[in-house]
Amino acid sequence: MSSKSKDSSQILVLCGGFQNLTSRNNESVTYQKSCLMTNAQKITNEPVELIKSIPGIEFVEMKDADMCCSSVTVNP
C-alpha cells in the first residue's frame, strides 16, 4: 500500500512544479525538512524542487537543515 501512496510534493513535481506562478522579485526562501517526510517517507528532494521551480525565488540552504524540527529553538 505504501508504494502506491504519494506525498503532494511528489505529485506537484511530476506535474511540473510551480513554473507557471507569477514571478517573484528575487526573494530568498529556505526550507526545513520534515522529520516524518525525511525519515519515514524518504521524501527529501521534491519540496526543495518545488521551491526552486517558483520563478524569481532564490533557494538558500538553512543552517542545520537536517536537525529535527522538534529540537529547534526559535529566538524572537
Residue 37 and residue 7 in contact, taking contact as beta carbons nearer than 8 Å: yes
- In the three-class reduction of DSSP (H, G, I as helix; E, B as strand; rest coil), residue 70 is classed as helix
15-64, pLDDT tens digit by residue? 777 776 776 777 898 888 888 888 888 888 888 988 888 888 889 998 87
In a domain? residue 40: yes
In a domain, 68, yes or no: no
In a domain, 61, yes or no: no
Q: Residue 57: its pLDDT value, please?
A: 85
Residue 24's domain comprises 2-53
Copy the grid coordinates of residue 20: 507557471
**Helices of type H across the chain:** 8-14, 35, 45-52
What is the count of structural domains for the chain?
A: 1
Nearest-angstrom CA–CA distance, 4 and 52: 26
For the whole model, what pTM was predicted? 0.65
Other CB atoms within a 10 A radius of the CB of residue 54 amount to: 19
Q: According to the model, what pLDDT value does residue 2 have? A: 64
